[in-house]
Structure 1
Amino acid sequence: MKLESQRISVNKSPEDVFDFLADIKNFESLMPENISKFEVLSEDTFLFALKGMPEIILKKKEALPPNKIILGAAGGKLDFSLIANILKTNDASSEVQLEFSGDFNPMMAMMIKGPISKFIETLATSIPKSI
Structure 2
Amino acid sequence: MKLESPKVTVPKSVEDTFAFLSDVKNFETLMPENISKFEVLDNDKFLFALKGMPEIILKKKETVPPNKIVLGAAGGKLDFSLIADIYAIDENSSDVKLHFEGEFNAMMAMMIKGPISKFIETLATNMKTAI
The TM-score with structure 1 as length reference comes to: 0.99
Residue 41 of structure 1 corresponds to which residue in structure 2?
41
* Normalised TM-score (structure 2): 0.99
Percent identity, please. Answer: 73
Deviations 1:29-62 (A, max 9, x none): 0000000000000000000000000000000000
> Matched residues in 2 for 1:87 and 1:110: separation?
31
Instruction: Give the Cα–Cα distance (whole angstroms) in 2 for the partners of residues 97 and 7 of structure 1.
Output: 5
Shift in Å, 1:128: 1.5
CA positional deviation for 1:2:
0.2
- How many pairs does the alignment contain? 131
Q: Which residue of 2 aligns with 1:88?
A: 88
TM-fit CA distance, 1:92 = 1.0
**Alignment-derived partner of residue 118 in structure 2:** 118
Q: 4+ residue runs of structure 1 moved beyond 4 angstroms?
A: none
Correspondence for 2:128: 128
Whole-Å separation in 2 of the counterparts to 1:71 and 1:41: 14
- Where 2:18 maps in the other structure, the secondary structure is helix
Identify unmatched segments of 5+ residues in structure 1: none
RMSD over aligned Cα atoms: 0.4
